[in-house]
Structure 1
Amino acid sequence: MFDNYAWLAWVGAALALGAIEAATVDFVFLMLAGGALGGSAAAAVGAPFPLQAVVAVVVAGGLLGLVRPWAKRRFTVRPDGARMGTAGYIGRSGFVLETISGTSGRVKIGGETWSARTANGEETHPGDEVRVLAIEGATAVVTRVIPPI
């Protein structure tokens, strides 16, 4: 039944795998779709089904081993070394809401209120500008920014 149209079945499999890739965006199903296209090419030149399957597996394996690592590095690079999560707060500036000492206080960083403490135990007062040195749990470790004269 599919003897003359086996290539079409492989293309259908590639399209289905491509649709799954659109949902996962991890480059695995895209590489498997590439393997299915390899099987489709083998079917188009008249190869028997076992050879089509071998071609599909070899192409998919090659893509997974060689192309996927490159694609992951290429498309997951953050511009200018941007960091995510709490690491993204390190180096940012904020403003003191409640006096910050070596043990407690409140600071506003990027529109969010954080509990804070100073790194060296000095006190900072409301309105002072501070810079985040580290995030320890839910506490920002900060230091006062001395305004230029």
Structure 2
Amino acid sequence: MDVFADNPWLAWLGIALVLAAIEVATVDFVFLMLAGGALVASVAAALGVPFPLQVVIAVAVALLLLALVRPLIKKRFMVAAVSNQIGAAGLVGRTARVLQTVTATDGRVKVSGATWSARTARDGAPCQPGQEVRVLSIEGATVIVTGDTAGQTKE
């Protein structure tokens, strides 16, 4: 263990690698942030910073990453709850592109690469070809859509 005593940056690097490996198994982005703290501590150790300060740096950076970066990464990479469903139910909340004018009685949209019969919700305004719409529900083989795309999940 003299190698780690002589090269504390190597120990921090090893800790970072172990934390990154754990992250691969959990995919929650917590261990990735801890690995980031360990990497910064490794750089501090390589620059000759005393060990107690290395620990403070590792903890501070990890906490900053957890508070600032992790929420952004989770929002970007985690699948939305509405798309955890399989089959047609997984389409609810997604956006669709109007292929043929959608009215209260008829129309066609493309959602997630498939063409569906569509109609607007009750009292919904007609949706024109090329317009982006949001899938509200599915009734049989027909998607019910609205031109209001707030709260959508991209297809």
Alignment TM class, shorter chain as reference:
0.5 to 0.7
- SS of equivalent to 2:24: helix
Give 1:3 deviation, angstroms: 3.7
1:109-149 deviation line (CA, Å, top 9, x unaligned): xxxxxxxxxxxxxxxxxxxxxxx947xxxxxxx4686xxxx
- Which of 18, 21, 24 is residue 23 of structure 2 equivalent to? 21
Amino acid at match of 2:35: A
Give 1:84 deviation, angstroms: 2.5
1:103-114 aligned within 5 A: none
- Which of 76, 79, 82 is residue 78 of structure 2 equivalent to? 76
Are the aligned partners of 1:10 and 1:37 in contact in 2 as well (CA < 8 Å)? yes
Are the aligned partners of 1:133 and 1:143 in contact in 2 as well (CA < 8 Å)? no
> What RMSD, in angstroms, separates the aligned Cα atoms of the two structures?
2.8
Give 1:24 deviation, angstroms: 0.6
Structure 1 match to 2:85: 85
Unaligned runs of 5+ in 1: 92-131, 135-141
TM-score by length of 2: 0.54
Equivalents in 2 of 1:13, 1:76: separation in Å?
26
Equivalents in 2 of 1:6, 1:38: separation in Å?
12
TM-score by length of 1: 0.56
- The sequence identity of aligned pairs, in percent, is 57
Bigger Cα Rg: 1
Aligned length: 96
